[in-house]
C-alpha cells in the first residue's frame, strides 16, 4: 500500500480528483523546491505540465515519504 495518511486518502483524494499519487511521488523525487516546516513536515513543490503548468505542493510527514497533503499552490513563485 502507498504510504499516505488517512487524511490524505479520505479527504484530499476525495476533494481533489485531479490528484494522483504517482504525480505526488514524482514531485517528492524531483522537487523544484523543498523546505521543512516548523512542525517537521516537509513541503515539496513541482510543476505539473498536464495541469496547465501549475505548481503542486506536496506535504509529507517528517519521514519525507508519507504523503499527508497536496494542492495547487497558486502563490508559489519558482
Closest CA to 26 of 52, 50, 1: 50
Which helix (DSSP H) or strand (DSSP E) does residue 36 occupy? Answer: strand 33-36
Q: Which residues of the chain fall short of a pLDDT of 50? A: none
pLDDT, position 1: 53
**DSSP string computed for 52-65:** TTEEEEEEE-TTSS
Distance from C-alpha of 49 to C-alpha of 42, rounded to nearest angstrom = 23
Q: What is the pLDDT of residue 5?
A: 97
Q: What's 38's DSSP letter? A: T
Q: What is the pTM of this model?
A: 0.93
What pLDDT does residue 51 have?
A: 82
| Cα(78)–Cα(67) distance, integer angstroms | 22
Amino acid at each position: 500500500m502507498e504510504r499516505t495518511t488517512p487524511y490524505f486518502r479520505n479527504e484530499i483524494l476525495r476533494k481533489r480528483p485531479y490528484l494522483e499519487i504517482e504525480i505526488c511521488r514524482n514531485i517528492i523525487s524531483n522537487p523544484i523546491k523543498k523546505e521543512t516546516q516548523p512542525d517537521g513536515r516537509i513541503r515539496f513543490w513541482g510543476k505539473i505540465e498536464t495541469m496547465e503548468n501549475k505548481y503542486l505542493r506536496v506535504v509529507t510527514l517528517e519521514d519525507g515519504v508519507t504523503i499527508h497533503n497536496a494542492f495547487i499552490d497558486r502563490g508559489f513563485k519558482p
